[in-house]
Amino acid sequence: MGRDSKYSFSRWEAAAAASVVASFGLVLVAVYLSMPSSDYSFLKLPRSVEDIQDLRDNLESYTSDYTIQVLVGYCTVYIFMQTFMIPGTIFMSLLAGALFGVLRGVALVVFAATAGASSCYFLSYLIGRPLVFLLWPDKLSFFQEQVAKRREKLLNYMLFLRVTPTLPNTFINVASPIVDVPYHIFFLATIIGLIPAAYVTVRAGIALGELRSVADLYDFQAIATLFFIGIVSVTPTLINKSQTVNDA
């Protein structure tokens, strides 16, 4: 009985998820209706560098003439993908660079990724427990132990996780409310910690012609840099532990 309730959704939980999907759908319909009549068959969720190049070529003119609609549509799709853990947001980040340049692209990606992560956090708080227990039981136990041990310097630890690929961002988004990571810490770690990776991806989007695959984004130097930033973020925690041991 207890096991069944842990892994199943109630009717209201299913209704909550459906209402969120419907809300995103209504926004996209509103954006579509505000655009001029044209052939939009090129619009699709990108799954490759070639898809990004095709979207860039078709959306460049719309970006200058219908900037608000493109921005709202972009953010809605990105947030929807983050909320429901749909793979491919890295391609959306590349598209931001291709359409908006580095500064505006990074700001857009960090905003959309933070909003999407927050949406996923609150949706998981309401209905995510069965899914997390089903998909990542061992990883959830590990995460819960680490959060409990680092409660006093939790922001540093969450920053480390966001900057480095130690744990998938999707898992962090959905598991954080379940292991009692406070939202203000989750939010700060997300909006700050995603900047380095966003910069790398958005900058690559400017030179799509030189990019053969997503694997080219994160070479050894890029990964080493992210880990260095992550280590810097947890240094205060390590120093505090060392001082505590010496005082004892």
Buried residues in 214-245 as b, exposed as e (16+ CB within 10 A): beebbeeebeeebeebbeebbeebeeeeeeee
* C-alpha–C-alpha distance, residues 74 and 72, integer Å: 5
Q: What is the pLDDT of residues 15-29, one digit of tens each?
A: 777 888 888 889 888
**Mean of pLDDT over the chain:** 84
- The amino acid present at 223, given as its one-letter code, is I
More confident residue, 3 or 142: 142
* CA atoms 11, 170, 108, 154: torsion sign: positive
Residue 75 domain flag: yes
**Greatest CA separation for the chain:** 72
Residue 11 domain flag: no
Residue 15 domain flag: no
- Three-state SS sequence of the chain: CHHHHHCCCCHHHHHHHHHHHHHHHHHHHHHHHHCCCCCCCCCCCCCCHHHHHHHHHHHHHHHHHCHHHHHHHHHHHHHHHHHCCCCCHHHHHHHHHHHHCHHHHHHHHHHHHHHHHHHHHHHHHHHCHHHHHHHCHHHHHHHHHHHHHCHHHHHHHHHHHHHCCCCCHHHHHHHCCCCCCCHHHHHHHHHHHCHHHHHHHHHHHHCHHHCCCHHHCCCHHHHHHHHHHHHHHHHHHHHHHHHHHHHC
Q: Decide: residue 76, CB within 10 A, 0-12 exposed, 13-18 middle, 19+ buried.
A: buried
Q: What is the pLDDT of residues 91-123, one digit of tens each?
A: 999 999 999 999 999 999 999 999 999 999 999
* C-alpha–C-alpha distance, residues 178 and 42, integer Å: 39
Residue 35 domain flag: no
Residue 127 domain flag: yes
Residue 62 domain flag: yes
Residue 85 domain flag: yes
Q: What is the pLDDT of residues 42-80, one digit of tens each?
A: 888 888 889 999 999 999 888 888 999 999 999 999 999
pLDDT-derived band at 247, boundaries 50, 70, 90? very low
Residue 12 domain flag: no
Task: Provide, rounded to the nearest whole percent, the portion of the chain with pLDDT above 70.
Answer: 81
Structural domain including 182 reads 47-242
> What is the model's pLDDT at position 91?
93
Residue (of 114, 163, 171, 152) closest to 244 by Cα position: 152
What is the domain count for the chain?
1
Report, as an integer, the average pLDDT of 204-211.
80
